[in-house]
Amino acid sequence: QVQLVESGGGLVQAGGSLRLSCAASGRGFSTNIMAWFRQAPGKERQFVAAIRRSGTTYLVDSVKGRFTISRDNAKGTVYLQMNSLKPEDTALYYCAADATYGVDPAAYDYWGQGTQVTVSS
């Protein structure tokens, strides 16, 4: 059974930091690409960041310079370090995994349940 379990969300003031984690377990699925998406109320799920097993990273422009994605392949875990948080970063953050890279949520077969990030002004 495939499981992606996110943790690390919470409430933080603008300018603060949070670190999200996503642990992958199970067999029969690829974690070549591990990614983070977010979805604010009433909006579509949006790509945030992704990382290849090799370490190559991709970030949406709105978070460049503030967010960093990393992974520990031995632990099957991906991290999203979020600094200088803004109220517009408020969303439910989802971890996703698949064999190939994409910014469209439809490209990913495996998803976690999400962790809420709320940034107050």
Tell me the HSE value of 79 on the side-chain side, using a 13 A CA sphere: 12
The pLDDT of residue 14? 98
Residues 45, 48: Cα–Cα separation, whole Å: 10
State the distance between the two ends of the chain, measured CA to CA, in whole angstroms.
40
Q: Residue 34 CA to chain centroid, in angstroms? A: 8
The pLDDT of residue 30? 73
The pLDDT of residue 31? 85
pLDDT tens, position by position, 86-116: 999 999 999 999 989 999 999 999 999 999 9
| Contact yes or no for 14/24 (Cβ under 8 A) | no
| Contact yes or no for 47/111 (Cβ under 8 A) | no
Total residues found in the chain within this entry? 121
pLDDT tens, position by position, 2-43: 799 999 999 999 999 999 999 999 877 778 999 999 999 999
pLDDT at 1 over 90: no
Residues 69, 10: Cα–Cα separation, whole Å: 18
Token pair of 119 as six digits: 């940034």
